[in-house]
Amino acid sequence: MRWSRGNRDNVEDLRGRSGMGVRAGLPIGLGGLVILLVLGWLTGTDFLSLLGGGEGGLPPSASVPSGSAVSSPEEERLVDFVDAVMRDAQGTWQQLLGDRYEQTRVRLFRDVTESACGMGEAASGPFYCPGDHFVYLDLGFFDELRQRFGAPGDFAQAYVVAHELGHHVQMLLGIDRQVRAAQRNRPSQANAYSVALELQADCFAGVWGHVASQPGRAERGLVELDPGDAEEGLRAAASIGDDRIQRMSTGRVFPERFTHGSSEQRVTWFKRGLASGNPEACNTLQ
């Protein structure tokens, strides 16, 4: 995967801060599913459904500086990488949506941070907060993606960022609001609606991957995929399917508790976006 360093205007670096305030509406991301699924299996409680977030979340309280972020050259490369992926993916969506698209940023944090959706923790994985329209990411998740989930590679990491940006696109198009209303009206189908939303974000990530796979982009300072990169993204999608995570954490699979979709579903929808490059091919709510 080829990419060029930018000026970091697509990221906000909060790594030197720590969030202060009451935890409310913890946003759930990819990594936190393992922990919550184990707790749910042991206690019989659906912790995923108890997590607030989005439009009903509490506003963030003040964050206080905790000193300058201590980093490494490897971590700084990741900051530049996330910035490059966001810059490229947002450029793609700007072309696809025109004036309907609004720029956002990735807020990089360590351990814990405040968002308009409540307190975010590294254990919850990357997440998008509809309340403030930012993507939140602890860079340590990329280590977890590689070590725990067996999905190494630049494009596997890029897939995670592009997936969360897909939620931003859903917010801009009003899809997120429609799904949340449907979940309130049909609570017995809340998990099914959540799966549809996540699979669409996978497909949207594939739409950007389709664009990034076009030859000659690197010469223009854009992201360009190399042979084999698509397989990294597919491997990442498969590695974080609900069925695989449940099996890893409990040894059993509970389809009725899926919130992000099975490995097969995630791969299928990511591949659909990757093959078509067309957001209209990503209607998971039919």
Contacts 24+ apart (CB under 8 A), 246-249: 246/37, 246/41, 248/34, 249/34, 249/37, 249/38, 249/41
pLDDT of the residue at 56: 35
Q: Write the pLDDT tens digit of every residue in 147-194.
A: 887 888 899 999 999 999 999 999 999 999 999 999 999 999 998 999
Q: What is the pTM of this model?
A: 0.80
Q: How many residues does the chain have?
A: 286
pLDDT tens for each residue of 66-76: 445 678 999 99
Strand order across the 106-108 sheet? 11-13, 106-108, 134-137, 127-129
Q: Give the range among 38-47, 138-147, 179-188 with minimum mean pLDDT.
A: 38-47
Name the packing angle between helices 190-212 and 154-172 (round to 10°).
120
Given this model, what pLDDT does residue 243 score?
Answer: 66
Residue 46 has pLDDT above 70, yes or no: no
Q: What is the mean pLDDT of residues 98-102?
A: 97
Residue 204's closest CA among 110, 267, 272? 272
Strand partners, 112: 121
